[in-house]
C-alpha cells in the first residue's frame, strides 16, 4: 500500500465518518431552562419561560419531524455559584445541549463562560447586560430579547429629549444594574444631560425609602431605576408614598416588565415610559400566542422574556434540524446563518456577535380609564427600527467581530 | 452643616426612616421573643405568618370589601387562630425536646406555606392601597414624611410597650413568666398552663400578622415578603438577647436606625450590616445585649 493510497483511504474514511459524527447526541435534544423560579424574577421569567419553551417545541412539530426534544428546568436562586454548578451538572452529567433564559446578568455571565468551555449552546432571553455581546461575547451564545444598551437607547433618549436632562440613579448592585447604569449614563451625557448622583442597593431590597430620600435631595428631574422586578415595583410604589412625582420629579423605569405593571396596578404605574421588544397586544399573531400562553401560565400574559424563550427555542430547533446535529458552536453558527422568522418578533437576523436584531418599542402605561380589557396596559408611543434598536456591531468590543 | 459630607438635614430624614423600619423589626422580634421566652420554641414560621397577615388583609378587601382598619383587627385574629391550630396539633409535642426540633418543624411549615402562596399568587406581589385617611404626608422641612409612616411608628410603639407592660407588670404576665420557670408548680395553683401557652403562641403569631397588615400598603403583598425579613429579624432577636422583651423592642428600633445610616454612607453593605453587628455581639456578649446568661 503506497503512502498516497493510505492518505486517500484516510480521506475517504474521514468523509464517511463526518456525517456519522454530525448527529443528535444520544438521540435527544435536551433543553435546560435555568432561571429564578422562586424569587423576585420568578413571574417575569420563571415557569413562564418553561411553558414558552414547551410551546415552541410543540408548535415546531418536533415529534412529527422525528426530533426528540426534552425540556428540564431548575432554580438558580439568583446565585452565580448555584447557577454555575447547575450548568456544569447539566452539561457534564445530564447531557443538556442548550441552556435557555437565565435572568440575572451575574449568573448569565458565569453560564456564558461555562457554555463556551464545554462547547454547548446558550440562548439568553432574560439577562440584560450588553456585555454578553460585547467584551464577553462567545461563539456559543445568542442574546435574544433585549439588552441594557437597547433600553438605554430607547428610554434614555426619549426621556432626555423631552426635557429630563438631570438624573439620579437608583441602581441594583450587581452586573446588570452596573451595565444598565453605565449604558444609560452614556446616553444622558451624549445628549447634553447631567448625572447628579447615584446610589447602589443590594438585590432584592424591600424598603427604598432611604434611597428615595437621597434621590429627592439631589433635586434631579429624573430618577432612573436601574433595577428590575420586585425592586422596581417597590421603588415606584414607595416613591408615590414619598410624594416624588407630586414634588415634580419623574421616575424612569429603565427595565419594566408587563408583570411589574400588573403587580403595581395601573393606578400607580400609569404614565411610566419604557422600552420593550415585545408586547402581547401588538397584532393577531401575538394575541393568539398570548391567549394560549396565559391558559397554561396561571393567566399571566407573556413578557418579552417569555416571547424570547419561545422564539429562541423555535429558531434553535430549526438550526438543529437543518444541521442534523445539536453540537453547540455549530448550531449557534447555523442560527446566525439562517434568517429568523417567528410569529412574535417577525423577521430578523442574528449578528456575528450573537446579538438578535429586531425592532424595539417605546411604550407608555395606560391610565386606568384607558384600559379596556384584562392586561390592556400599554400604548405604543414609538417603534425603534431594528437597525437602530441595538448597539452598532463595531462598538461592543466583541472579539468575534474583528476576525 | 454636613457630617462626613452628608447634610445634617438629610441625616435627620434617614434617622426617621430608620426608626420606621425599626418599628417593623421591633414588632416582629417582639413576637418571636414572646414565643421563645414562654414556649421555648424558635418560631421560624414567623415570617410566613407575617406574610399571611398581609394576605388576609388583601382577601378581606377583595372578597368582603373590608378595608384596612377592619384588617388591622381581623387579620391578627384569623392568623392567630391558624397559629393555635398549629400549636395544638404539632408544636405541643415538641416542648420537652431540644430547640432544634421546634426550629426544624416551624422552618418546614414556613417553606410549605410560602410555597403554596407563591404557587397560587406568583412572586411579583399584589397591590394593596393606602387607607384614605392616612394618604398624603407632612413636609417637615428636612424631609417629606408620609402620614402612613408616622402612623406605623406610633402604632407599633404603642403595641410593643403594651405587650411589655402586660408581660412584665401585670398579674397575667406574672403567671406567664412563672409558667416558664416552673409549669408544674403553676399548674398546681389551679392555672391551666397548656391553655395559657397555646394562647401565648396565638398572640405571638397575631403580632406577626399585625406587622403584615401594617406592611401591606408600603410593600407589595408578596408571598416572599416574610422570607426576606425573617432572617434579619432573627439577627435582631439574637443581638437583643433571645427571650428578652424589652431587648427586642430596643434593638429593633436601634438596628433600624443603624441600617438607615448604612444606606447613606455605604449602601452596598446595608443588608449585611446587621449580621456584622450580630457577629460582634455574639463574640463579646454571647447571650445578647439584654439577655441573661443562662
**Do A66 and A118 fall within a single domain?**
yes
pLDDT in tens, B173-217: 999 888 888 888 999 999 999 999 999 999 999 999 999 999 999
H/E element, A276 = strand A273-276
User: Cβ(A33)–Cβ(A71) under 8 Å?
Assistant: yes
pLDDT score for A402: 75
The answer to whether A377 contacts chain B (CB < 8 Å) is no
**Do A131 and A86 fall within a single domain?**
yes
pLDDT score for A17: 41
Rounded percentage of chain B residues whose pLDDT exceeds 70: 97
pLDDT score for A389: 95
Distance from CA of A343 to the nearest CA of B (A): 27
Q: Tell me the chain A residues in contact with residue B129 when contact means C-beta distances shorter than 8 Å.
A: 267
Inside any domain, residue A401: no
Residue A212 to residue A175: CA distance in whole angstroms: 22
**Do A225 and A365 fall within a single domain?**
yes
The answer to whether A250 contacts chain B (CB < 8 Å) is no
Cβ distance of B220 and A237 shorter than 8 Å: yes
Above 60 in pLDDT, residue B252? yes
Phi, psi dihedrals of residue B239, rounded to the nearest 5°: -65, -40
Q: Tell me the chain B residues in contact with residue A44 when contact means C-beta distances shorter than 8 Å.
A: 124
Q: Tell me the chain B residues in contact with residue A260 when contact means C-beta distances shorter than 8 Å.
A: 124
Cβ distance of B146 and A241 shorter than 8 Å: yes
The answer to whether A210 contacts chain B (CB < 8 Å) is yes
Average pLDDT over residues B118-141: 88
Inside any domain, residue A9: no
Distance from CA of A302 to the nearest CA of B (A): 14
By three-state DSSP, how is residue A207 classified? Answer: coil
Identify from B2, B123, B217, B264 which residue to disrupt to test chain A contact, counting A C-beta atoms within 10 A and taking the largest count. B123
pLDDT score for A325: 92
Q: Lowest-pLDDT range, A265-269, A331-335, B35-39, B255-259? A: B35-39
User: Cβ(A285)–Cβ(A377) under 8 Å?
Assistant: no
Inside any domain, residue A395: no
Identify from B124, B134, B233 which residue to disrupt to test chain A contact, counting A C-beta atoms within 10 A and taking the largest count. B124
Residue B82 to residue B103: CA distance in whole angstroms: 18
Cβ distance of B123 and A230 shorter than 8 Å: yes
**Do A158 and A288 fall within a single domain?**
no
pLDDT score for B123: 84
Task: Provide the grid cell at B66.
Answer: 373590608
**Do A124 and A187 fall within a single domain?**
no
Cβ distance of B218 and A238 shorter than 8 Å: yes
Inside any domain, residue A13: no
Per-domain residue ranges of chain B: 28-229
pLDDT score for A403: 59
Residues 341-370 of chain A whose Cβ lies under 8 A from any Cβ of chain B: none
Cβ distance of A230 and B271 shorter than 8 Å: no
Cβ distance of B118 and A38 shorter than 8 Å: yes
By three-state DSSP, how is residue A380 classified? Answer: strand
Q: Tell me the chain A residues in contact with residue B263 when contact means C-beta distances shorter than 8 Å.
A: 199, 201, 210-211
Q: Please identify which residue in the block is written with the cell numbers 431605576.
A: A225
**Do A114 and A187 fall within a single domain?**
no
The answer to whether A213 contacts chain B (CB < 8 Å) is yes
Task: Provide the grid cell at A307.
Answer: 416571547
Distance from CA of A332 to the nearest CA of B (A): 33
How long a stretch of residues is chain B? 294
Distance from CA of B125 to the nearest CA of A (A): 6
ipTM of this complex: 0.85
B21-25, B209-213, B223-227, range with greatest mean pLDDT: B209-213
**Do A248 and A365 fall within a single domain?**
yes
Residues 50-89 of chain A whose Cβ lies under 8 A from any Cβ of chain B: none
Residue B250 to residue B242: CA distance in whole angstroms: 13
Cβ distance of B17 and A209 shorter than 8 Å: yes
Q: Looking at the partner chain, which of A201, A243, A263 has a beta carbon nearest the beta carbon of B124?
A: A263
Residue of A nearest to B120 (CA): A298
Structural domain of residue A49, as residue ranges?
A: 25-146+282-352
Q: In what order do the strands lie in the sheet containing A273-276? A: A273-276, A360-365, A378-384
Domain tally, chain A? 2
Which ranges of chain A have pLDDT less than 50? 1, 7, 9, 11-21
Inside any domain, residue A286: yes
pLDDT score for A186: 96
Cβ distance of A43 and B124 shorter than 8 Å: yes
Residue of B nearest to A229 (CA): B124
Q: Looking at the partner chain, which of A204, A206, A260 has a beta carbon nearest the beta carbon of B124?
A: A260
| Burial readout A132-164 (b: 16 or more C-beta within 10 A, e: otherwise) | bbbebbbbbbbbbbbbbbbbbbbbbbbbbeeeb
CB proximity list for B229: less than 8 A, separation 6 or greater: A206, B24, B28, B47, B50
CB proximity list for A281: less than 8 A, separation 6 or greater: A287, A290, A375, A376, A378
Distance from CA of B268 to the nearest CA of A (A): 6
Cβ distance of A263 and B220 shorter than 8 Å: yes
**Do A63 and A157 fall within a single domain?**
no
**Do A120 and A218 fall within a single domain?**
no
pLDDT in tens, A249-281: 999 999 999 999 999 999 889 989 999 999 999
Q: Tell me the chain B residues in contact with residue A300 when contact means C-beta distances shorter than 8 Å.
A: 122
pLDDT score for A19: 38
**Do A166 and A236 fall within a single domain?**
yes
**Do A79 and A139 fall within a single domain?**
yes
Compute the CA torsion angle B154, B160, B284, B277 (nearest 10 deg). -40
pLDDT score for A5: 56
Cβ distance of A233 and B20 shorter than 8 Å: no
pLDDT score for B11: 82
Inside any domain, residue A37: yes
Cβ distance of B149 and A241 shorter than 8 Å: yes
**Do A243 and A296 fall within a single domain?**
no
pLDDT score for A396: 92
Q: What is the mean pLDDT of chain B?
A: 90
CATH of the domain at A230: 3.40.50.2300
Inside any domain, residue A392: no
pLDDT in tens, B42-82: 899 999 999 999 999 999 999 999 999 999 999 999 999 99
pLDDT score for B198: 93
Cβ distance of B220 and A265 shorter than 8 Å: no
Amino acid at each position: 500500500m503506497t503512502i498516497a493510497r493510505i492518505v486517500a483511504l484516510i480521506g475517504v474514511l474521514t468523509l464517511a465518518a463526518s456525517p456519522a459524527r454530525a448527529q443528535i447526541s444520544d438521540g435527544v435534544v435536551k433543553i435546560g431552562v435555568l432561571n429564578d423560579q422562586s424569587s423576585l424574577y420568578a413571574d417575569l421569567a420563571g415557569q413562564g419561560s418553561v411553558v414558552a419553551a414547551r410551546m415552541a417545541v410543540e408548535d415546531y412539530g418536533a415529534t412529527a419531524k422525528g426530533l426528540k426534544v426534552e425540556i428540564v428546568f431548575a432554580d438558580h436562586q439568583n446565585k452565580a455559584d448555584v447557577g454555575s454548578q447547575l450548568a456544569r451538572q447539566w452539561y457534564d452529567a445530564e447531557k443538556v445541549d442548550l441552556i435557555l433564559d437565565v435572568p440575572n446578568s451575574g449568573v448569565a455571565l458565569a453560564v456564558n463562560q461555562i457554555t463556551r468551555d464545554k462547547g454547548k449552546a446558550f440562548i439568553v432571553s432574560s439577562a440584560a447586560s450588553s456585555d454578553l455581546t460585547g467584551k464577553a461575547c462567545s461563539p456559543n451564545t445568542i442574546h435574544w430579547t433585549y439588552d441594557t444598551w437597547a433600553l438605554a437607547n430607547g428610554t434614555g433618549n426619549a426621556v432626555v429629549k423631552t426635557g429630563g436632562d438631570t438624573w439620579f440613579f437608583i441602581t441594583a448592585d450587581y452586573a446588570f444594574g452596573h451595565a444598565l447604569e453605565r449604558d444609560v449614563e452614556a446616553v444622558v451625557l451624549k445628549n447634553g444631560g447631567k448625572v447628579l448622583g447615584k446610589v447602589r442597593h443590594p438585590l432584592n431590597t424591600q424598603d427604598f425609602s432611604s434611597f428615595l430620600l437621597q434621590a429627592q435631595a439631589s433635586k434631579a428631574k429624573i430618577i432612573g431605576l436601574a433595577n428590575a422586578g420586585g425592586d422596581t415595583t417597590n421603588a415606584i410604589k414607595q416613591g408615590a408614598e414619598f410624594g416624588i412625582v407630586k414634588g415634580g420629579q419623574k421616575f424612569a423605569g429603565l427595565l419594566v416588565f408587563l408583570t411589574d405593571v400588573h403587580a403595581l396596578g395601573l393606578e400607580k404605574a400609569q404614565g411610566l415610559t419604557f422600552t420593550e421588544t415585545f408586547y402581547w397586544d401588538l397584532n393577531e399573531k401575538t394575541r393568539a400566542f398570548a391567549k394560549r400562553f396565559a391558559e397554561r401560565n396561571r393567566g399571566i400574559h407573556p413578557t418579552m422574556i417569555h416571547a424570547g424563550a419561545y422564539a429562541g427555542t423555535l429558531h434553535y430547533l430549526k438550526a438543529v434540524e437543518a444541521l442534523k446535529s445539536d453540537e453547540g458552536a455549530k448550531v449557534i453558527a447555523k442560527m446566525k446563518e439562517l434568517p429568523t422568522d417567528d410569529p412574535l418578533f417577525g423577521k430578523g437576523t442574528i449578528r456575528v456577535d450573537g446579538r438578535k436584531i429586531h425592532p424595539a418599542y417605546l411604550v407608555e402605561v395606560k391610565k386606568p380609564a384607558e384600559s379596556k380589557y384584562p392586561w390592556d396596559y400599554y400604548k405604543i408611543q414609538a417603534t425603534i427600527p431594528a437597525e437602530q434598536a441595538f448597539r452598532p456591531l463595531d462598538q461592543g468590543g466583541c472579539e468575534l467581530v474583528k476576525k | 452643616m454636613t457630617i462626613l459630607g452628608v447634610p445634617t438635614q438629610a441625616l435627620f430624614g434617614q434617622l426617621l426612616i430608620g426608626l420606621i423600619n425599626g418599628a417593623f423589626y421591633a414588632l416582629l422580634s417582639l413576637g418571636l421573643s414572646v414565643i421563645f421566652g414562654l414556649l421555648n420554641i424558635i418560631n421560624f414560621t414567623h415570617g410566613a405568618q407575617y406574610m399571611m397577615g398581609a394576605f388576609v388583609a388583601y382577601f378581606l378587601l377583595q372578597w368582603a370589601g373590608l378595608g384596612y382598619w377592619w384588617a388591622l383587627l381581623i387579620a391578627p385574629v384569623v392568623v392567630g387562630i391558624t397559629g393555635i391550630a398549629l400549636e395544638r396539633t404539632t408544636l405541643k409535642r415538641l416542648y420537652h425536646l431540644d430547640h432544634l426540633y421546634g426550629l426544624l418543624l416551624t422552618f418546614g411549615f414556613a417553606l410549605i406555606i410560602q410555597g403554596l402562596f407563591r404557587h397560587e399568587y406568583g412572586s411579583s406581589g399584589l397591590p394593596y392601597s393606602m387607607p384614605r385617611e392616612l394618604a398624603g404626608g407632612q413636609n417637615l422641612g428636612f424631609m417629606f414624611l408620609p402620614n402612613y409612616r408616622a402612623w406605623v411608628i406610633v402604632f407599633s410603639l404603642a403595641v410593643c410597650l403594651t405587650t411589655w407592660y402586660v408581660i412584665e407588670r401585670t398579674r397575667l404576665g406574672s403567671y406567664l413568666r412563672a409558667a416558664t420557670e416552673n409549669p408544674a408548680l403553676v399548674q398546681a395553683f389551679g392555672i391551666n398552663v397548656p391553655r395559657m401557652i397555646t394562647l401565648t403562641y396565638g398572640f405571638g403569631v397575631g403580632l406577626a400578622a399585625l406587622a403584615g397588615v401594617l406592611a401591606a400598603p408600603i410593600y407589595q403583598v408578596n408571598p416572599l415578603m416574610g422570607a426576606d425579613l425573617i432572617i434579619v429579624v432573627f439577627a435582631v432577636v439574637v443581638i437583643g438577647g433571645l427571650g428578652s422583651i424589652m431587648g427586642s423592642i430596643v434593638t429593633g428600633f436601634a438596628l433600624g436606625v443603624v441600617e438607615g445610616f448604612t444606606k447613606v454612607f455605604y449602601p452596598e453593605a446595608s443588608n449585611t450590616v446587621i449580621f456584622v453587628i450580630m457577629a460582634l455581639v455574639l463574640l463579646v456578649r454571647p447571650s445578647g445585649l439584654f439577655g441573661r446568661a443562662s
